[in-house]
Amino acid sequence: MDDTHKYEDWRGAMNLLEQIHDVVTSKQSAKTKARLNVIRLESDIRSRVADYYEQGGYTAFAAAIKTLEAQGAIQPFKGSAVNGRTPALPLQYWVLPRNIEPSWDSLQIMKLSDHLQFGFYRRYPEWQTSDEWHRIESVHAFLQSAEERQWVSVEERSLELFGHEKYLSEPEGSQFLSRLGIDHSALKAKRWGEPFVMWLRPGTSPHEIREVLIVENLSFFHTVVMLQRRGCLNLSDQPDIIIYGEGKKIERSFSFFYELFPVDRSYSFRYVGDMDPEGYGILYRLHYGYPEAGVLPAAEIYEAMAQFHQHTVSCETQTKDERYLAFMLQHVTPDSRAASSMRACWAMNKRIPQEVLTVETWRKGTVG
């Protein structure tokens, strides 16, 4: 090979090396290795480089791979098969972690460590970016005067500190706070409960409320309200307040109850939804998501729904979690009609909608 051809092969290898280096760099992290398949990599480079073959083609590609291997950027799998080309290359490589030097000033980190934790950033220096540092400075400035600040919504505090009202409500914002070892409460930022629709029994003052009934669906909410107005809601414990849960929304809005009514009182919370996995799941998550409330099934109403077992419909698309059924069976009478219907519907992928109970199907003596 004459000097001209050697020069062109070298130049082609250098051009491809730049392209391959970009691909490899995109796969590198500071801590973990990544897999690199030589056949897929060459295909990717051919699609990126229009004059791939004019730049030396596979020969230049192989030379670039060997250069990256010599530089310690990639490493062949032990015992990897070769690609059957000349010169031969291992089919599989590891992209080795890159060595990232810390970019933040140690003295500045010490100054901010009075309120914040920096262990994460020392372990993962790739997170030491200028944008991250600006956010940390905003948080630290707030924490220095936090005692004089008032509680506001998460969105309001997010706009103040980061210029975007949604930042702290999104995973990116929550992860940022976690990296610093704090949460929303450190910023005096509160997730206000979403408002819900409710009906207070006439003549009941907020300080007299004890019995709370939450219903999943809108139609049954109106049915229960109408029955109570007529004096026909024959339950052992009459609800003082009826809340429309609006499906899964109640899981986010439940805390709103304590923004309306005294928090230092004891309440009896009962929930009723469709007799299906989704309805049981809502109740299960309410019970364990708000342990201080101790939300339990409205067993008498489930018993009334179970009378209409002939009205079951399919629920094959719903995800079943055995914990939901076990929780329901734990809180209804074992030999009751409700327990029997729950087991049977669960086994057959059937459900009983809440709408089986109407002002016409509900009669005195229906429950109890």
Does the structure show a pLDDT above 60 at 364?
no
Q: What is the largest CA-CA distance in the chain?
A: 104
Does the structure show a pLDDT above 60 at 175?
yes
Give the pLDDT band of residue 14 (cuts 50, 70, 90).
low
Neighbour-count burial of 208, counting CB atoms closer than 10 A to its CB (0-12 exposed, 13-18 middle, 19+ buried):
exposed
Mean pLDDT of the region 67-74 = 84
Length of the chain: 368
Among 46-55, 126-135, 177-186, 326-335, the minimum mean pLDDT is found in 46-55
Classify residue 13 by its DSSP letter: H
d(CA 184, CA 197): 27
**Residue with structure tokens 């799941």?**
281
Write down the mean pLDDT value for the chain.
88
pLDDT in tens, 105-117: 999 999 999 999 9
* Alpha helices, H only, the chain: 3-27, 38-48, 57-70, 106-112, 119-123, 130-144, 154-162, 171-180, 218-229, 250-253, 257-260, 277-289, 299-306, 322-330, 337-348
Give the pLDDT band of residue 30 (cuts 50, 70, 90).
low
Classify residue 309 by its DSSP letter: G
pLDDT in tens, 2-13: 444 443 444 445
- Residue with more model confidence, 262 or 301: 301
pLDDT of amino acid 10: 46
Does the structure show a pLDDT above 60 at 311?
yes
User: 241: closest CA among 268, 213, 270, 276?
Assistant: 213
Classify residue 192 by its DSSP letter: P
Q: How many CB atoms lie within 10 A of CB 168?
A: 24
Beta bridge partners of 76: 93
Mean pLDDT of the region 271-292 = 95
Mean pLDDT of the region 201-220 = 92
Give the pLDDT band of residue 1 (cuts 50, 70, 90).
very low
User: 254: closest CA among 294, 207, 224?
Assistant: 294
Does the structure show a pLDDT above 90 at 135?
yes
Continuous segment of H or E residues that includes residue 272: strand 268-272
| Residue 289 one-letter amino acid | G
| In contact, 351 and 306? CB cutoff 8 Å | no
Give the pLDDT band of residue 15 (cuts 50, 70, 90).
low
pLDDT of amino acid 264: 82
Q: Name the percent of the chain lying above pLDDT 70.
A: 93
| In contact, 323 and 296? CB cutoff 8 Å | no
Does the structure show a pLDDT above 80 at 213?
yes
Residues of the chain with CATH 1.10.10: 3-95
Range 360-366 contact pairs with CB under 8 angstroms and sequence separation of 24 or more: 361/308, 362/223, 362/227, 362/232, 362/233, 362/304, 363/232, 364/232, 364/234, 365/234, 366/234, 366/304, 366/307
Does the structure show a pLDDT above 50 at 152?
yes
d(CA 214, CA 295): 9
What's the token pair of residue 331? Answer: 């809180």
Q: Does domain 3-95 have CATH number 1.10.1060?
A: no
d(CA 354, CA 282): 14
Mean pLDDT of the region 142-165 = 95
What's the token pair of residue 31? Answer: 């801590």
- Residue with more model confidence, 60 or 176: 176
Among 22-26, 236-240, 279-283, 323-327, the minimum mean pLDDT is found in 22-26
Cis-peptide into 87, omega within 30 deg: yes
Give the pLDDT band of residue 26 (cuts 50, 70, 90).
confident
pLDDT of amino acid 276: 95
Does the structure show a pLDDT above 80 at 308?
yes
pLDDT in tens, 247-262: 999 998 998 998 888 8
Question: What pTM was estimated for this model as a whole?
Answer: 0.60
pLDDT of amino acid 6: 43
- Residue with more model confidence, 207 or 25: 207
Neighbour-count burial of 262, counting CB atoms closer than 10 A to its CB (0-12 exposed, 13-18 middle, 19+ buried):
exposed
d(CA 35, CA 30): 15
